[in-house]
Structure 1
Amino acid sequence: MKYSLVVLLLGLIVCCRSKHKTEVEKPQTASEIKMDSVAADTVVDKATTLRTFDGLADTTFVRLADFSADFAYDMRYATENNFLKAKVYDCAECYTRVKTAKALIAANADFMEQGVKIKFFDCYRPNSVQYKMWEIVPNPQYVANPDKGSIHNKGGAVDITLVDMEGNELDMGTDFDYFGKRAYHDNMDLPQEILDNRKLLKETMEDHGFWSIRTEWWHYNLSAASNDRVANFKWECED
């Protein structure tokens, strides 16, 4: 009888301990807790984590650097180093609509196979900035009339050049925003190296749905963005 009672008590103790173990959850690590608190495509660290286009409409405005780390930037209108001689962006950012971003990333992949990549001078431009530029230079030869707007204002135009993988610009014959015949695509009176560089830029961009302006070797419009509405979306500047 005494032996049976001891066995019964031991069984109850084991059962209780087992039940306690199954009811207590294993504590999460700090990284597990952090990952549970963000969506799969949310940027945790812009320097290392890139977003995807999943769930984004083609007309959504996106920050290009959040979707690819393979571009170079020299956003001239966030400085005074431009033909306006004035800073018209509060901070340097490159935004486009999703469909433009997709085409740019695809074009850049082709460029990188040839040892070069895209460098941006300008991307989407809010219409309010177009008005500001028009006030400084009210000449439709150089600045699109803001009442009509430009494809820059639609998020479908970019001003670009090419750099090698060390960041050195290829020779295109002129600087960005040089307004003269030396910047024209149909000017063949240039060294062969410059003609070859412009040809590489133009033909690759055209392969990905962009078209150029005869007088500006740096300017490219996405054909699919031509009918989009002029926008005045403004990005936030980080402190």
Structure 2
Amino acid sequence: MLKTAIYLLLAGFTALPAAAQSPKPLPAIEQKMIDRGLVDIQKVDAGILVELKYSTTDNFIGRDVYGELTRAYLQPEMAKRLAKANALLQKEKPGYKLLVYDAARPNSVQYDLWNALDNLKIPAGSKTMYVADPKIGSNHNFGCAIDLTVADANGKPLDMGTKFDFFGPLAYPRSEQEMLKKGKLTARQVENRQLLRNVMTQAGFKVNTTEWWHFDGMSKAQARARYGIIP
């Protein structure tokens, strides 16, 4: 009995330091988001999937530009709308989930993306079709835009006809019927895009005419006035 008591005492004593340890501090870039009032979308809806493409090399710039930022943040109002869209999706397609590719983005990163277009030889006059001018800012820079797709019950992204960040008419919602007639998109691919659009617009987001994956929560002028840009 004495040995057991001593063992328990020692075990309890050695467990105290681990229990008393402070939580690991968040990366500075995430703390900056939180300090500005943005929220981690998975804390609003844990069922939403996140794979920030700019935290990987799987993007048009070909490198990780987010560093320690791996969680998706939005303005609270936008996060609630996204949770609503995810609920609508699951109601229509049980087991399906939204998969987020990008959310709030620091304006400093916007400059990286903007400058990277020069390497792709995108004409200067066409650059704003694909990346917002960082001097003005993107809705991402205000935490009011989201890039995403739909994942099936196995977590696999649906076939949308192009990858995320594809530059060209094949990715344009406004060109889908033309691409369908030309056989460059299939009926299923267009249906998958429409599924995404339906739940997002019902939740209060607006469609982007040149990117099937991008949705805005409000106009840029409204976002700038209400929230201010994320440096």
What is the TM-score when the length of structure 2 is the normalising length?
Answer: 0.72
Bigger helix fraction: 2
Q: Distance in 2 between matches of 1:60 and 1:213?
A: 25
What runs of 5+ residues in structure 2 fail to find an aligned partner? 1-22, 24-33, 119-126
Report the 3-state secondary structure (helix = DSSP H, G, I; strand = E; otherwise coil) of the residue aligned with 2:77: helix
Q: Distance in 2 between matches of 1:142 and 1:106?
A: 27
Q: Distance in 2 between matches of 1:68 and 1:168?
A: 19
Aligned with residue 110 of structure 1, among 83, 88, 104: 88
- Give the structure 1 partner of residue 154 of structure 2: 166
Residues 151 and 226 in structure 1, CA contact (< 8 A), matched pair in contact too? no
Report the 3-state secondary structure (helix = DSSP H, G, I; strand = E; otherwise coil) of the residue aligned with 2:173: coil
Q: Distance in 2 between matches of 1:211 and 1:83?
A: 24
- Give the structure 1 partner of residue 54 of structure 2: 77
1:90 maps to 2:67: yes
Residues 184 and 214 in structure 1, CA contact (< 8 A), matched pair in contact too? yes
Deviation at 1:141, TM superposition (A): 2.6
Q: Which has the higher contact order (CA 8 A, sep 6+)?
A: 2
* Aligned-residue CA RMSD (Å): 2.1
Q: 1:205 to 1:153 in 2, by over 3 A?
A: same
Paired residues, number: 178
Aligned with residue 42 of structure 2, among 54, 65, 71: 65
Partner deviation per Cα, 1:62-113 (whole Å, 9 max, x = no partner): 1112222101122110111100112110121200000000000011001011
Q: Distance in 2 between matches of 1:214 and 1:134?
A: 19
> Structure 1 vs Structure 2: percent identity of aligned residues?
36
1:164-203 equivalence runs, <5 A: 164-186=152-174, 187-188=176-177, 189=180, 190-203=185-198
What runs of 5+ residues in structure 1 fail to find an aligned partner? 1-43, 45-55, 234-239
Q: Distance in 2 between matches of 1:61 and 1:193?
A: 36
1:140 maps to 2:135: no
Residues 103 and 145 in structure 2, CA contact (< 8 A), matched pair in contact too? yes
Aligned with residue 126 of structure 1, among 106, 129, 149: 106
Q: Which has the larger radius of gyration?
A: 1
Q: Distance in 2 between matches of 1:70 and 1:141?
A: 32
1:218 is aligned with what amino acid? W
Deviation at 1:226, TM superposition (A): 5.1
